[in-house]
Amino acid sequence: MKTTLFSQIIKLESHLNQKTGASSSLSFFLNKLLMKATHYLQPPLYFLPKLSLKDSVEQANFDYKIEDLTKNNDCIFSTEIKKITSKVDLTYKYSQQLLLQDLVRQATLKNSTPWKLCKYEYVSPLMTIIHLPKDPIENVEIPEHGSFHTDRDELFGPDGSIIVWLPFTNYSYPGVATKSLISRIFSHFLGNRIGRNIIFNSKSIGLRSNHKLGDWISWSDTFWHGGLRNSTDECAIALIIRFSKKYNNQTFLPVSTLLTEQLEGIDIDSHDKLVSNANQIFCSIIDINLNSILTEKRESDNINCVLQSLEDNSYIDENIETKLITLHIVDYALSTFSNRIKAFPLILKSKLDNDDQVEKMEYLIKLSLSDLNNLKRSYL
């Protein structure tokens, strides 16, 4: 018996493989027009429920060693790899599926939020945000007063989406900030350019002065908010889920299934071993690519090694579905790493000697992603 997450990953990969052809110019234009029109009907609001998942989060914390995130970080590069493998664990492990189910059940209770989330058809897996103390990447990533943005995305269509933000650790600082209601309302109705200027020139206000693990918050995808730098000496972690009425590669878990799923009978050891294997493959790909640059090994040999590591039966068994789930997780980790090194060149520069090596590493990661996706398609 598979968890809903693993079962739906198989369906998602099949769906993505069968999806062909681009939308017509007319449908694309109409969708953009509808997105702009419905934007004004969805006010930028957040909500602090009188509910908590403290017990569920504490139970999940037993299966995750937060202190390992801050140990033996010899450079920015190795710290980023550790962040990504932690995100894999906090998204896919069995204990996190229990937490996801508890969060969906509580968020969809009558009157738990203003948005009647029980009427939303799909939800994302848990997504992880990690703030390490004195993190040099965070100092680049997050401006002094917060990295302000909305979550409005055309992928979720005119109905938009709703975010639920769950502290996985205690936050001894505000963590998430917004702007005054007047600033948010003006920015909402005055268009993107003027609206952004209003937001960025307004004073930041913490949603709470600090956050207790399990005390979740929800907001609409038009809500302006920003993550704040970790000003403490402790690691801060939050988990996010997104509710949507559209099926896509982010929100692909049926809410109705999660509400009724019984997780008895799951082989927990096999489930978590699969996740650990995926992390090993991801780290293997990174090491192979890095070694090929440092030893000036031929690129063709490098790619062959990547493919060999992906098909190594010590990592993945003969079951095709298991392979697809594993490769989906590896894809998630490798794509996350690819996006991070593009956004923050400091990550690769902390490990490599010059710009040529940095450029080559970026290229090899792209190539590995391409090989990985070709391998996934061969199993469908």
Contact 76, 135 (CB under 8 A): no
Q: Label residue 279 exposed, middle or buried (CB < 10 Å: 0-12, 13-18, 19+).
A: buried
Between CA 9 and CA 83 the distance in angstroms is 22
CA 190 to chain centre: 30
Question: What is the pLDDT tens value at each position of the chain, 380 positions in all?
Answer: 689 999 999 999 999 888 655 566 777 778 788 888 888 888 899 999 999 999 999 999 877 777 777 776 678 999 999 999 999 999 999 999 999 999 999 999 998 999 999 999 999 999 999 999 888 899 888 888 788 999 999 889 889 999 999 999 999 999 999 998 889 988 888 877 888 888 888 888 999 999 999 999 999 999 999 999 998 999 999 999 999 999 999 999 999 999 998 887 789 999 999 999 999 999 989 988 898 888 876 555 555 666 666 666 556 666 889 989 999 999 999 999 999 999 999 999 999 989 999 999 999 999 999 988 888 888 88
Per-domain residue ranges of the chain: 24-260, 268-378
Q: Crossing angle, helix 299-311 and helix 355-378, to 10 degrees? A: 40
Between CA 96 and CA 271 the distance in angstroms is 12
Class of domain 24-260: mainly beta
Contact 212, 54 (CB under 8 A): yes
Confidence (pTM): 0.92
Assign 205 to helix, strand or coil. Answer: strand
Q: Where are the alpha helices (DSSP H) in the chain?
A: 4-18, 25-39, 54-61, 76-92, 94-107, 136-141, 181-189, 192-200, 255-260, 268-294, 299-311, 320-343, 346-349, 355-378
User: Which residue carries 């739906």 as its tokens?
Assistant: 8
What are the residues whose beta carbons fall under 8 Å from the beta carbon of 308, sequence distance 6 or more?
none
pLDDT the model gives residue 318: 66
Neighbours of 76 (CB within 10 A): 18
User: Identity (one letter) of the amino acid at 201?
Assistant: N
User: Identity (one letter) of the amino acid at 194?
Assistant: I
Between CA 109 and CA 240 the distance in angstroms is 18
Contact 31, 157 (CB under 8 A): yes
